[in-house]
Amino acid sequence: MMAGKMRRVIDNESGIALFLVLWVLALLTVIVGEFCYTMRTEVNITRNFKEETQAYYIAVAGLNRAIVEIMRNERIPQKASTPEGEEEQGEERLRINTDIPPVLFGGGQFKVLVANESGKINLNAANTQLLRTMLSGFDLEDDERDVIVDSILDWRDRDHLHRVNGAEDNYYRSLPEPYECRDGDFKSVEELLLVKGMKPELFYGGLENIVTVYEDDKVLKSKKKTLADKVDINAATDTMLSSLPGMTKDLAREIVDYRKTRDFKSVSEILEIVGAEVYNSVKSYLTIQTLPYYTITSVGVTGDEKTRRGVEALVKIDAKVKKGYRIVRWLDDAPITGTLGRFEMPKQESQGLEG
């Protein structure tokens, strides 16, 4: 009888030991599983960080390459025409607002888009007529447009007398969050949001992309606004062009399509595209003069093209500084839109910007 009791005790202890072993194994399984999951997550995070960093610096390389090309173009005169009408052979220039093919770099690719501030309306120089034209492409009532135009003019003039539909200090001081009128030139395009009548949906709905505050230093010193109140036909976007009087979206697109292969050498060259009536309406708004301010957007992608990063910079080409240029504004994580999002290039070829 004593032996039977001993066997039951041993059996119970064996069951408890087995239970403990199973419990420890289960616990170890959970710990190992959690460790593996954590390690896999950390590996993915590290890989993503590596690829994003790689894509970022590929984009920065593309932006720096574009600056070099722009500086080279500034030193090299554009191709001239011979008496027979044939263009002289010369180096291909980096094109403004055109689709530049991607370039292989550092195990990935970069793609850049170059714009010039001359293709926008200058808030500090535009006259009343040009400001009205600027707003004509937006869904505004006549009285809304009049308020914005007069308020822009009041914002930048030196006096304290407001126009019929404008505003000066007495209006801005009466707001829930009061401030004073600038009574001077706009310092940034975002300052336009402070002007009476301006709405965020209007500004961010396209207006911010067709206005600028940057001018050529020579124009500022001479106080001549003959070029500052015009738009460069070679740098203007189709949105900017279509806002000009008489210009349709289709005609604006034809002008942009023409620029895919060559620049206009004179404003009169658009006559064959738009016709005499539209040409007479828009010629006073146009020029072929560029500004030393360039907006460069660069997108870098990794080798598998799954990771993309964009950077954007407003650059002033200035021979007076040591580098020959200076960065006016820099934006990390620039939006990737339009042609910048398309990377269609043979893997073994390098096109576009030259080294």
Which letter does DSSP use for residue 120 in this model? S
Whole-angstrom distance, CA of residue 335 vs CA of residue 296: 12
354 CB neighbour count, 10 Å cutoff: 13
Domain made up of 126-213: CATH architecture: Orthogonal Bundle (1.10)
Strand partners, 110: 103, 300
Strand partners, 317: 325
Residue of higher predicted confidence among 8 and 19:
19
Give the chain's mean pLDDT: 83
pLDDT band at 90 (very low <50, low <70, confident <90, very high): very low
Dihedral, CA atoms, 66, 68, 73, 74, nearest 10 degrees? 120
Check pLDDT > 80 for residue 344. no
Contacts of 21 (CB under 8 A, 6+ apart): none
What's the pTM value of the predicted model, to 2 decimals?
0.76
Whole-angstrom distance, CA of residue 184 vs CA of residue 186: 7
Contacts of 154 (CB under 8 A, 6+ apart): 162, 163, 166, 167, 168, 181
Check pLDDT > 60 for residue 223. no
Start-to-end CA distance of the chain, whole Å, equals 97
Residue of higher predicted confidence among 83 and 97:
97
Check pLDDT > 90 for residue 30. no
Q: What is the pLDDT of residue 327?
A: 93
pLDDT tens-digit series, residues 100-115: 889 999 889 999 999 9
Check pLDDT > 50 for residue 87. no
